[in-house]
Amino acid sequence: MPVLESTPVIRRIDGFRQYVLTVPTLLMAISLLGSGCAQPAKPPPIAQPVEARLSPDQQRLNVESFDLMWDRIHDWYWDPEFGGLDWPAVKAELRPKVEQAETMSQARAIMSDLVSRFGESHLNLIPKEVYEAVGRPEGQGKRDGDAGIDVRVEAGQALVVSVEEGTPAEEAGVRPGWIIERINEKAVAEALSVVEAEFRDKTLKDIVLAKSVLGRLEGAVGEPVKVTFRDGEDRERVCSIERVRKRGWETRMGHMPAMYVRFDSRRLDGNVGYVSLSNFMNPVQVMPAYNEAMEAFLDADGVIVDLRGNDGGLAAMVMGMCGWFIPDREQYLGTMTMRHMTLKLVIAPRVQTFEGPLVVLVDGLSASASEFMAGGLQALGRACVIGSRTAGAALPSQFEHLPNGDGFQYAFGNYVAADGERLEGIGVKPDVEVRPDRKALLEGRDCVLEAATAWIRQKRPAGGRSTQAPEGLGHTNALVVEE
């Protein structure tokens, strides 16, 4: 059974103590520690202070934390065979080492070893410093602003792929295709090279690389960030960019920090409908906007669903959205297996469905629920997937606060697409692979979107049709539970 080989990694990257975790902790931990919580970029050449020894109470809390982690996996991990591991033997091997650990780093290394045995993206020990930063109250280290710039890393360079209209970044002349070289005087390339080496053969590589840059552009609204670019004429451009409020609907879920949901829709040249969504959250506002757009696109010659950068969210939203494209009853996107039940993500078609050419755009930052949608529609033969391989982070998971103050993320389910392909650690492979191209961006072109519209033009004779769904079938998506 293919699994992701990467584990929680603690690396020193350009002076940053960088906790590289996974979606969604990957996105927050890198951005939090990659900007405001970093150590000096170039530590002085003196001996580092010796880490403090644990007190008896701290040792006890670490052992209790280890036991809780072991118990949660024992009780909730989706595979009762634990992937072939002798789970009691793992406890017998590692628990005495936690009892004997003299420093917090030693204890965390052992507890990380516990979860790394599975090689899953959604099994992680989250250090207290990160976990508290994630739940930090408003007013301290706020991260509600960004530079209005989106970034992907290509060939070791942080490439600007879009600049939001009306932002200080646009007013400063920043353009897609520019390369980010330094952020607040800290070089970007060296840090990226270390991440690249660590994640070279991992599906999470693109998301880790991009978020390590984007996180350093985030901060409080109104605070400036100094960015050094290389423009299209290969000139150095230094800009002080005032951070603006993140665009989209603010959404909160439990202990997690605020998320911002962006939804856009428009009709492109050639009578092509286009929708984009940053994540599958806030259904109260997103679903009516999406449904209104899709109803308007029933006469389109093709539809593009842009999930580039979409880091996932609620699977039920995916099921509802896909109902606009699947007229057949009892079709499902994939299957989620848990310890005591199996859930099929069944699509309930709309009264009218769009049956013309459909393209789903993805990239290495498309994760979790966005992989359900892209992979499911691809497996059903309903959509052409264009872009680059997705993040391969598809497992449902839960967060828990440990007695020692650390956090623990554990997977309680497995997911496979409708064709039986497992997405975890593999991702969705596009039918047509297209990556961002600097030359095209400097010319104001989106080569991935261009590939999508070109594909639709080829399929146009079959496009633009809608059909009635079977009588009595409403707008409600469904889960089929198999005990």
Q: What is the pLDDT of residues 397-429, one digit of tens each?
A: 777 889 999 988 888 888 888 888 889 889 999
What are the CA-CA distances from residue 364 to residues 1, 127, 181, 393, 427 (Å)? 22, 25, 21, 10, 9
In a domain, 417, yes or no: no
Q: Phi/psi class of residue 248: alpha, beta or left (left: φ > 0; alpha: ψ in -120 to 50)?
A: left
Residue 352 domain flag: yes
Could you list the residue range(s) of the whole structural domain that residue 160 is in? 145-245
Same-domain pairing of 329 and 476: yes
- Give the per-residue pLDDT at 400: 87
Which pLDDT band holds residue 343 (cuts at 50, 70, 90)?
Answer: confident
Query: CA–CA separation, 276 vs 297, rounded Å?
Result: 14
Q: How confident is the model at residue 461 (pLDDT cuts 50, 70, 90)?
A: low
Residue 220 maps to a domain: yes
Give the model's pLDDT for residue 87: 96
- Higher-pLDDT residue of 451 and 139 is 451
Report yes or no: 191 and 16 within 8 Å, Cβ to Cβ: yes
Domain boundary among 214, 245, 276: 245
Q: Say how many C-beta atoms besides its own lie within 10 A of residue 180's C-beta.
A: 24
pLDDT of residue 16: 26
Query: In the prediction, which pLDDT does 197 show?
Result: 79
- Residue 91's H or E segment, with its range, is helix 87-100
140: in domain? no
Structure confidence at residue 379 (pLDDT): 93
Q: Does one domain contain both 200 and 322?
A: no
In this prediction, residue 457 has a pLDDT band, given cuts at 50, 70 and 90, of: very high
Q: Which of 201, 226, 245 represents a domain boundary (last residue)?
A: 245
Q: Would you tell me the crossing angle of helices 104-116 and 87-100 to the nearest 10 degrees?
A: 170
Instruction: Return the pLDDT at 127.
Output: 81
What does the pLDDT average to over 138-147? 69
**419: in domain:** no
CATH of the domain at 344: 3.90.226.10
Confidence of residue 11 (pLDDT cuts 50, 70, 90): very low
Whole-number pLDDT of residue 158 = 97
Evaluate whether residue 267 is within a structural domain: yes
Mean per-residue pLDDT, 125-142? 56
Residue 20: per-residue pLDDT = 30
Tokens of 127: 């250090």
Q: Do 353 and 475 sit in the same domain of this protein?
A: yes
The 10s digit of each residue's pLDDT in 26-69 is 444 434 333 333 333 344 444 556 789 999 999 999 999 999 99
Estimate the share of the chain in helix, then strand, then coil, as percent rounded to the nearest 5.
Answer: 30, 25, 40
In angstroms, the Cα distances linking 340 to 56, 78, 421, 449 are: 39, 8, 21, 42
Q: What is the CATH number of the domain that holds 170?
A: 2.30.42.10
Domain boundary residue among 202, 217, 245?
A: 245
In this structure, the answer to whether residues 257 and 230 fall within a common structural domain is no
Is residue 166 located within the same domain as residue 276?
no
* pLDDT the model gives residue 255: 60
175 lies in the same domain as 129: no
Q: What is the pLDDT of residue 130?
A: 56
Residue 399 lies in a domain: no
Q: Is residue 329 domain-shared with residue 437, that is, in the same domain? A: yes
Mean pLDDT, all residues of the chain = 83
Let me know whether 275 and 367 are in one domain: yes
Whole-number Å distance between alpha carbons of 48 and 17: 14
Percentage, residues of the chain above pLDDT 70 = 81
pLDDT digits (tens, 9 = 90+) for 160-200: 999 999 999 999 999 999 999 999 999 999 888 877 877 77
* Phi-psi region at 152: left, alpha or beta (left = phi > 0; alpha = psi -120 to 50): beta
Name the least confident of 262-271, 376-385, 461-470.
461-470
Shared domain check, 381 and 233: no
Query: Same domain for 386 and 455?
Result: yes
Instruction: Report how far residue 10's alpha carbon sits from residue 194's, in angstroms, rounded to the nearest whole number.
Output: 12
Say yes or no: 256 and 345 in one domain. yes
* Res. 338: pLDDT tops 80: yes
- Counting every residue written for the chain, the total comes to 483
Do the strands 179-183 and 157-163 form a parallel or antiparallel pair, or are they unpaired? antiparallel
| Cα 362 from Cα 155, distance rounded (Å) | 19
205-240: per-residue pLDDT in tens? 899 899 889 989 999 999 999 999 999 999 999 999
Domain match, 232 and 256 both: no
In percent, how much of the chain has pLDDT > 90? 62
Q: Tally the domains of the chain.
A: 3
246 pLDDT exceeds 60? yes
**Three-state DSSP class for 409?**
strand
